[in-house]
């Protein structure tokens, strides 16, 4: 009878559970749209403690990481974890800043870095930290300038002018940085008012063999054993205001910081993630999906794959080259594998087919209700994507390839050539003067001639392979084939030996004595000209198609919202991600990616030992870390079984830009950092896959273990608000007497 009671209680518990994992929700609407569901799942905070513009709230600990004082978009998210402005984010989010602070002698990517006090912290000159002050609905103001007689272009100009006006008014003479963005394909507009701090400093980071363990091989894969975190600090002037870097600045005292929990996670635990997701396309039509899978993604995969191949060849042989290209390689590799995964999983998960079913139902509704405003949107999208697909390769291949090596540098001299071959003497003199202002040395600062030489040759080969002979620019037949017998490597050697644009010295010599005739004869300049011609022939059709997709997406989504409101009134729609603050909630869960395959919701440090390959550039690990794991010397960061959890899975809805986001428990305590999604749900940016979609999070206890036990940075441990719940008393269940 006892067993029957337990089962009955479990069933009732499951009946009351709400699984509402899909959605990246705007914080100002959490109380109205999400709060009840979140409470049922385990949230213990009030709506006011989550988001408030009048009082300190959880949102005040969430930081948008950018590279510009203008907060129009964020590459990652961070969270404040101490009352002294200490900030956690992912290792791969800090990667670029850490690279720029490194040298061959002090390679912080390779060896790590740990500041023992404020004076040792290093300024990350290219990183900014933005705090959201408030958001507000400005839809009526923005769309109030639109009239029925406006075409799409006029509409856009009127909207942009109004947005500029509203942003200037909300800036309070430069105190704040307001940004207005469109939602639901321009059917709603919201303003986000930020304070942007530009003095951000590196505090701590583990070796890349910890922070990037598994490399590109493990990227997007589970199980994952990556300690993907880095630590920075936000500085302000003595009054707590944003200020340029100064030795007189002090650590920021934040409005709110996140405590860190040592309790760990169990299956079904409530989780929430706050951050700045970059871009999703959940309302994309089937025609857009087909265009991406069949045309756009394969082009980018082709180009980026070749670039990565060349970089890898040199990076693995030379530490200086490895450091020089580290950030660029990481970004390319992430996008490259992401697009491969999207192509694979959009097909496998039959996302386009699911969209077709929705579109068919939508059109039935449109026709049944005589919704004439929406009747042509989908057919127009079909035609627009068809036209775009016909010219896409003539835009993307030459655009990327014309940026390589001497060809890319030659493009900067197009304006001079146009003026120098014209009849206006004043324009010629002005163009020659403009050449003097060029910072030629900066063009070569982050590049190695060996890598660039090989890249230039391989890109020319790639272009030839991608196009029919009759589609190739003239220099292939007139120069490469006739003068070099089709040998692209020999042609590239000649360019690097003779082109004006091969070295900074030769470019400076040309600037000192410019000549249009010399430019015209230069092979790199000829390539740049002819590639530009290819692009310009395709651009009018490409731009017209892009405009048509934007206009008809706007109409389609407007109709889709009306369709859902009438047909599924219980369904709340959320806007696509657009690098504005969002909240998602879910739970800790395992998953089954395929028949008879089960993935647990946690992985442990034992997996590092299993994957460890000494000397391997992806799976090597520091000896000290291996020793600590083998001895099980995990200190207070071990779980109840004595294991060290490295990463765990949750059902939260995230995307790029959410990297570094805090994943929190129901009390608003940090339990980990979100850093990746799983391979089987790579289609998730277009269609949420509840059965498969998981977020991969580095466990907060592993982060603390690395800081404390591995790095010995106890000064940081002492600064954090670390919490552990008291053990719950074990109570014997009362026996239920048999009838």
Q: Catalytic amino acids?
A: 92, 228, 659
Residues 273, 316 share a domain: no
Q: Which two tokens stand for residue 269?
A: 């635990």
Tell me whether residue 425 is exposed, middle or buried, using C-beta atoms within 10 angstroms of its C-beta: 0 to 12, 13 to 18, 19 or more.
Answer: exposed
The average confidence (pLDDT) of the chain is 94
**523 close to 475: Cβ distance less than 8 angstroms:** yes
Number of domains into which the chain is organized: 2
* 112: in domain: yes
Question: Nearest Cα to 720, choosing from 259, 61, 192, 38?
Answer: 259
- Residue 21 pLDDT grade (very low, low, confident, very high; cuts 50, 70, 90): confident
Model confidence over 423-455: pLDDT tens digits?
Answer: 888 898 899 899 999 999 999 988 999 999 999
Considering the chain, what percentage of its residues have pLDDT values greater than 90? 93
**Long-range CB contacts (within 8 A, 24+) of 499-504:** 499/406, 499/410, 499/523, 499/524, 499/525, 500/406, 500/410, 500/524, 500/525, 501/405, 501/406, 501/407, 501/409, 501/410, 501/525, 502/405, 502/406, 503/444, 503/449, 504/440, 504/441, 504/443, 504/444
- Residue 9 pLDDT grade (very low, low, confident, very high; cuts 50, 70, 90): very low
Model confidence over 76-97: pLDDT tens digits?
Answer: 999 999 999 999 999 999 999 9
Higher pLDDT, 150 or 425: 150
In degrees and rounded to multiples of 5, residue 477 shows phi and psi of: -80, -40
- Residue 328 pLDDT grade (very low, low, confident, very high; cuts 50, 70, 90): very high
Residues 151, 89 share a domain: yes
Is 16 a residue whose pLDDT tops 50?
no
Model confidence over 672-684: pLDDT tens digits?
Answer: 999 999 999 999 9
- Dihedral sign for Cα 479, 483, 485, 488, please: negative
Cα–Cα dist 25/215, whole Å: 31
Cα–Cα dist 136/146, whole Å: 20
| DSSP conformational letter for 588 | B
Higher pLDDT, 728 or 361: 361
Residues 312, 179 share a domain: no
* 730: in domain: no
- What average pLDDT score do residues 94-120 get? 97
Residues 349, 307 share a domain: yes
Per-residue confidence (pLDDT) for residue 7, from 0 to 100: 32
Per-residue confidence (pLDDT) for residue 13, from 0 to 100: 34
* 596: in domain: yes
Looking at 498, 532, 552, which one is the last position of a domain?
Answer: 552
Residue whose tokens read 């993604």: 297
Q: Dmax over Cα atoms in the chain, in whole Å?
A: 108
* 634: in domain: yes
CATH label of the domain that carries residue 161: 2.40.10.120
Question: Nearest Cα to 196, choosing from 137, 127, 114?
Answer: 127
**535 close to 401: Cβ distance less than 8 angstroms:** no
Per-residue confidence (pLDDT) for residue 1, from 0 to 100: 32
What Å distances lie between residue 450 and 30, 78, 180, 493, CA to CA? Answer: 54, 37, 45, 11
- What average pLDDT score do residues 209-216 get? 97
* 599: in domain: yes
- What average pLDDT score do residues 469-481 get? 96
Is 360 a residue whose pLDDT tops 90?
yes
Residues 524, 483 share a domain: yes
Is 736 a residue whose pLDDT tops 70?
no
Residues 374, 309 share a domain: yes
Residues 137, 58 share a domain: yes
**327 close to 96: Cβ distance less than 8 angstroms:** yes
| DSSP conformational letter for 728 | P
Is 361 a residue whose pLDDT tops 80?
yes
Model confidence over 521-533: pLDDT tens digits?
Answer: 999 999 999 999 9
Is 37 a residue whose pLDDT tops 80?
yes
Q: Which two tokens stand for residue 699?
A: 């466990």
* 176: in domain: yes
**463 close to 393: Cβ distance less than 8 angstroms:** no
Q: What is the DSSP string of 452-513?
A: HHHHHHHHHHHHHHHS-GGGS-HHIIIIIIHHHTT-HHHHHHHHHHH-TTSSHHHHHHHHHS
- Residue 728 pLDDT grade (very low, low, confident, very high; cuts 50, 70, 90): low
Q: What is the DSSP string of 212-267?
A: TTTHHHHTT-SS------EEEEEEE-TTS------TT-EE---S----EE-S---T
Residues 403, 492 share a domain: yes
Residues 699, 588 share a domain: yes
* 4: in domain: no
- Residue 6 pLDDT grade (very low, low, confident, very high; cuts 50, 70, 90): very low
Within 294-350, residue ranges assigned H as helices are 297-315, 319-348
Question: Nearest Cα to 717, choosing from 727, 725, 728, 705?
Answer: 705
Q: Which range marks the domain in which residue 408 is found?
A: 286-552
Is 211 a residue whose pLDDT tops 50?
yes
**588 close to 269: Cβ distance less than 8 angstroms:** yes
Residues 619, 547 share a domain: no
Model confidence over 528-574: pLDDT tens digits?
Answer: 999 999 999 999 999 999 999 999 999 999 999 999 999 999 999 99
Residues 119, 92 share a domain: yes
- If you count them, how many residues does the chain have? 739
Model confidence over 172-202: pLDDT tens digits?
Answer: 999 999 999 999 999 999 999 999 999 999 9
Q: What is the CA radius of gyration of the chain?
A: 28
Model confidence over 624-651: pLDDT tens digits?
Answer: 999 999 999 999 999 999 999 999 999 9
Cα–Cα dist 573/97, whole Å: 37
Per-residue confidence (pLDDT) for residue 726, from 0 to 100: 76
Per-residue confidence (pLDDT) for residue 401, from 0 to 100: 87
Per-residue confidence (pLDDT) for residue 565, from 0 to 100: 97
What Å distances lie between residue 16 and 4, 19, 23, 37, 606, CA to CA? Answer: 19, 10, 20, 10, 37
Pairing of strands 722-723, 260-261: parallel
Q: Which two tokens stand for residue 603?
A: 């992985």
How far does CA 176 lie from the centroid of its chain? 25
Residues 436, 348 share a domain: yes
Higher pLDDT, 125 or 730: 125
* 225: in domain: yes
């Amino acid at each position: 009878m006892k067993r029957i009671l337990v089962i009955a209680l479990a069933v009732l518990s499951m009946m009351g559970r709400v699984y509402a994992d899909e959605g990246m929700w705007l914080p100002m609407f959490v109380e109205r749209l999400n709060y009840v569901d979140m409470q049922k799942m385990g949230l213990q905070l009030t709506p006011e403690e989550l988001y408030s513009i009048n009082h300190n709230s959880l949102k005040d600990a969430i930081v948008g990481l950018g590279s510009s004082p203008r907060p129009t978009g964020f590459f990652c998210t961070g969270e404040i974890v101490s009352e002294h402005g200490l900030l956690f984010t992912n290792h791969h989010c800090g990667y670029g800043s850490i690279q720029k602070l490194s040298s061959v002698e002090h390679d912080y990517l390779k060896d790590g870095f740990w500041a023992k006090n404020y004076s040792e912290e290093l300024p990350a000159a290219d990183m900014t930290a933005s705090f959201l002050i408030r958001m507000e609905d400005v839809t009526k103001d923005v769309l109030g300038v639109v009239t029925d007689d406006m075409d799409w272009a006029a509409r856009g100009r009127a909207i942009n002018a109004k947005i500029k006006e509203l942003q200037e008014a909300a800036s309070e003479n430069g105190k704040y940085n307001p940004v207005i963005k469109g939602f639901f394909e321009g059917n709603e507009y919201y303003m986000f008012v930020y304070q942007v701090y530009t003095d951000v400093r590196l505090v701590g980071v583990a070796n890349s063999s910890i922070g990037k363990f598994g490399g590109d091989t493990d990227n997007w894969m589970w199980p994952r054993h990556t300690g993907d975190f880095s630590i920075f600090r936000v500085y302000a002037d003595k009054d707590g205001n944003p200020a340029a870097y100064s030795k007189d600045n002090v650590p920021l005292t934040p409005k709110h910081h996140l405590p860190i929990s040592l309790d760990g996670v169990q299956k079904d635990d409530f989780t929430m993630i706050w951050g700045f997701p970059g871009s999703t396309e959940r309302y994309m039509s089937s025609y857009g999906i087909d265009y991406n899978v069949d045309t756009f993604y394969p082009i980018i995969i082709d180009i980026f794959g070749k670039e990565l191949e060349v970089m890898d060849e040199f990076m693995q042989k030379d530490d200086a080259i490895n450091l020089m290209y580290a950030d660029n390689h990481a970004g390319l590799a992430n996008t490259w594998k992401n697009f491969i995964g999207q192509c694979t999983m959009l097909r496998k998960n039959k996302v386009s087919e699911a969209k077709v079913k929705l579109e068919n139902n939508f059109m039935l509704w449109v026709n049944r209700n005589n919704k004439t405003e929406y009747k042509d949107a989908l057919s127009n999208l079909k035609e627009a994507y068809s036209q775009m697909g016909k010219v896409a390769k003539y835009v993307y291949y030459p655009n990327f390839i014309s940026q390589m090596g001497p060809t890319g540098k030659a493009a900067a001299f197009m304006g001079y050539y146009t003026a120098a071959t014209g009849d206006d003497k004043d324009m010629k003199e002005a163009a020659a003067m403009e050449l003097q202002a060029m910072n030629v040395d900066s063009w070569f600062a982050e590049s190695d001639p060996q890598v660039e030489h090989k890249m230039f040759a391989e890109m020319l080969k790639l272009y030839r392979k991608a196009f029919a002979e009759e589609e190739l620019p003239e220099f292939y037949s007139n120069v490469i084939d006739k003068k070099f017998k089709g040998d692209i490597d020999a042609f590239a050697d000649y360019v690097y030996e003779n082109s004006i644009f091969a070295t900074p010295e030769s470019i400076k010599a040309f600037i000192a004595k410019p000549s249009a005739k010399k430019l015209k004869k230069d092979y790199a300049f000829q390539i740049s000209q002819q590639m530009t011609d290819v692009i310009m022939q395709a651009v009018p059709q490409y731009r017209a198609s892009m405009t048509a997709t934007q206009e008809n997406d706007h109409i389609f989504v407007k109709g889709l919202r009306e369709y859902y409101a009438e047909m599924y009134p219980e369904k709340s729609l959320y806007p696509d991600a657009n690098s504005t603050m969002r909240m998602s909630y879910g739970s800790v869960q395992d998953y089954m990616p395929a028949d008879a395959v089960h993935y647990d919701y946690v992985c442990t440090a034992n997996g590092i030992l299993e994957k460890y390959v000494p000397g391997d550039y992806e799976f090597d690990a520091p000896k000290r870390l291996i020793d600590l794991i083998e001895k099980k010397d995990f200190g207070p960061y071990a779980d109840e079984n004595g294991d060290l959890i490295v990463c765990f899975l949750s059902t939260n809805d995230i995307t790029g830009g959410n990297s570094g986001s805090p994943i929190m428990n129901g009390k608003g305590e940090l339990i980990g950092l979100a850093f990746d999604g799983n391979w089987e749900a790579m289609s998730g940016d277009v269609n949420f896959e509840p059965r498969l979609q998981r977020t991969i999070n580095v466990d907060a206890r592993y982060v603390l273990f690395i800081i404390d036990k591995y790095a010995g940075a106890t000064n940081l441990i002492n600064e954090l608000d670390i919490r552990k719940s008291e053990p719950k008393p074990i109570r014997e269940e009362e026996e239920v007497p048999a009838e």
